[in-house]
Amino acid sequence: MIRCLLFVSLLIHSSLAAKPPSEGQKAAPRAQGPPSKKWQTLTGQQPLVIARGGLSGLFPEASTYANNMAKTLSLQGSAFFCNLQLTKDSVGICLSNILLDNTTTISMFYPKGQKTYNVNGKDIRGWFALDFTADQVLNNVSLTQNIYSRPSQFDGILPIATVEDALGAKPDKFWLNVPYDAFYNEHKISMASFVEKAAKFAPIPYISSPEIGFLKAIGGKVNKMRTKLIFQFLDPEETEPTTKQKYSALVKQLGMIKSVAAGILVPKEYIWPVNKNNYVEKATTLVNDAHKEGLEVHASGFANDVILPYNYSFDPTAEYLQFVDNSQFSVDGVLTDFPPTASEAIACFTQNKNETKPKTGFPLIITRNGASGIYPGCTDLAYKQAVEDGADIIDCSVQMSSDGVAFCLDTPDLNSGTNALSQFMTKSETIPELQAEAGVFSFQLSWSDIKSLKPQMQSPYGTKEKIVRNPANKDAGKLVTLNEFLEFAKKNAVTGILINIEYAAYLASKAGLDVVGTVSSALSNATFDKQSTQQVMIESDDTSVLAKFKDAKNYKRVLNIKEKISDATKESVAEIKKYADAVTITKDSIVKITDYFISGTTNVVKEMKAANITVYAHWLRNEFVSLMFDYFSDPITEIASYAQGFKVDGIVTDFPGTASKYMRSPCSDTDPKANVPYPILPVEPGALSGLIGPEALSPAEAPSPALQVSNVVDPPLPGVAKKNDSSSSPGSGSGSNSGSSDAGSKSPPAPAPSNEKSSAFANGASWCASLVAVTVLLLAN
Pairing between β-strand 79-86 and β-strand 364-367 as defined by DSSP bridges:
unpaired
Each residue's pLDDT tens digit, 700-710: 788 899 999 99
pLDDT tens, 374-390?
Answer: 999 999 999 999 999 99
Which residues are 143's β-sheet partners? 104
Query: d(Cα 126, Cα 159) in Å, to the nearest integer?
Result: 20
Cis-peptide into 619, omega within 30 deg: yes
Q: Which pLDDT band, with edges at 50, 70 and 90, does 587 fall under?
A: very high
Strands (E) in 42-181, as ranges, are: 48-52, 79-86, 92-94, 115-119, 122-126, 173-177
Higher pLDDT, 444 or 37: 444
- Strand 567-568 with 706-707, pairing: parallel
Beta carbons of 251 and 269 less than 8 angstroms apart: no
Q: What is the pTM of this model?
A: 0.89
Neighbouring C-alpha atoms within 13 Å toward the C-beta of 123 = 2
User: Could you tell me which residues are beta bridge partners of residue 408?
Assistant: 398
Q: Are 64 and 774 in contact (CB under 8 A)?
A: yes
Binned at pLDDT 50, 70 and 90, residue 775 comes out as very low
Inter-residue contact 59 to 144 (CB < 8 Å): no
| CB proximity list for 581: less than 8 A, separation 6 or greater | 556, 557, 558, 613, 614
Quick one: pLDDT at residue 724?
Answer: 59
Residue pLDDT, tens place only, 353-372: 655 566 678 999 999 999 99
Q: Is the dihedral of CA 451, 457, 462, 463 positive or negative?
A: negative
Cα(654)–Cα(373) distance, integer angstroms: 5
- CA–CA distance from 265 to each of 251, 268, 286, 306, 392 (Å)? 11, 9, 11, 20, 42
* Contact (Cβ atoms closer than 8 angstroms) between residue 55 and residue 63: no
Q: Residue 184: pLDDT above 50?
A: yes
Categorize the per-residue pLDDT at 671 as very low, low, confident or very high, splitting at 50, 70 and 90: confident
497 has pLDDT over 80: yes
Separation in Å, CA 352 to CA 345, 349, 560: 11, 6, 36
Beta strand 582-586 with 614-620 is parallel
Residue type, 432: P
* Region of poorest pLDDT, from 359-368, 452-461, 564-573, 610-619: 359-368
3-state secondary structure 17-49: HHCCCCCCCCCCCCCCCCCCCCCCCCCCCCCEE
Pick the more confident residue, 382 or 7. 382
Distance separating alpha carbons of residues 625 and 631, to the nearest angstrom: 11
- The confidence score (pLDDT) of residue 11 equals 32
Q: Is 455 exposed, middle or buried (0-12, 13-18, 19+ CB in 10 A)?
A: buried
| Count of CB atoms situated within 10 Å of the CB of 16 | 15
> For residue 188, what are the contacts with CB-CB under 8 A and spacing of at least 6?
none
Q: Given its phi and psi angles, is residue 447 left (phi above 0), alpha (psi -120 to 50 degrees) or beta?
A: alpha
Residues 6 or more apart whose Cβ sits within 8 Å of residue 35? none
pLDDT of residue 359: 63
Separation of alpha carbons 102 and 113, rounded Å: 14
- Split at pLDDT 50, 70, 90, the class of 464 is low
Can you give the three-state secondary structure of 604-668, one letter per residue? HHHHHHHCCCEEEEEEECCCHHHCCHHHCCCHHHHHHHHHHHCCCCEEEECCHHHHHHHHCCHHH
Separation between Cα atoms, residue 590 and residue 353, nearest integer Å = 33
| Residue type, position 495, single letter | T
Residues sharing a CB contact under 8 Å with residue 405, sequence separation 6 or more, in sequence order: 447, 450, 481
Is residue 682 within 8 A of residue 640, CB to CB? The reply is yes
* Residues contacting 462, CB < 8 A, separation 6+: none
Q: How far apart are CA 58 and CA 55, in angstroms?
A: 6
Instruction: Decide if pLDDT at 201 tops 90.
Output: no
Structural domains in the chain, sorted by start: 48-349 (3.20.20.190), 364-691 (3.20.20.190)
Comparing C-alpha atoms, which of 229, 250, 230 is closest to residue 238?
250
Which three-class secondary structure string do you get for 253-273?
CHHHHHCCCCEEEEEHHHCCC
Residue 108 has pLDDT above 70, yes or no: yes
In the chain, % of residues over pLDDT 90: 80
∠ Cα 506 746 724 (to 5°): 15
- Residue 354 is predicted with a pLDDT of 54
Burial of 585: CB neighbours in 10 Å, binned 0-12, 13-18, 19+:
buried
Residue type, position 185, single letter: N
Question: How far is the C-alpha of 544 from the C-alpha of 523, rounded, in Å?
Answer: 19
DSSP assignment of 479-545 equals: B-BHHHHHHHHHHHT-SEEEEE---HHHHHHHS---HHHHHHHHHHHTTGGG-SSSEEEEEES-HHH
What integer pLDDT is reported at residue 702 of this predicted model? 83
**Predicted confidence band at 509 (pLDDT cuts at 50, 70, 90)?**
very high
Q: What percent of the chain has pLDDT over 70?
A: 86
> Does 738 have pLDDT greater than 50?
no
Question: Taking residues 398-413, what's their average pLDDT?
Answer: 97
DSSP 269-304: GGTS-B-TTS-B----SHHHHHHHTT-EEEEEEE-S
User: Does 746 or 585 have the greater pLDDT score?
Assistant: 585
What pLDDT shows up at residue 360? 72
Lowest mean pLDDT among 115-124, 164-173, 645-654, 755-764: 755-764
pLDDT tens-digit profile of 283-313?
999 999 999 999 999 999 999 999 999 999 9
Cα–Cα distance measured from residue 55 to residue 196, given in angstroms and rounded to the nearest whole number: 27
| Tens digits of residue pLDDT in 713-726 | 999 999 999 875 53
pLDDT score at 353: 60
Average pLDDT, the chain: 88
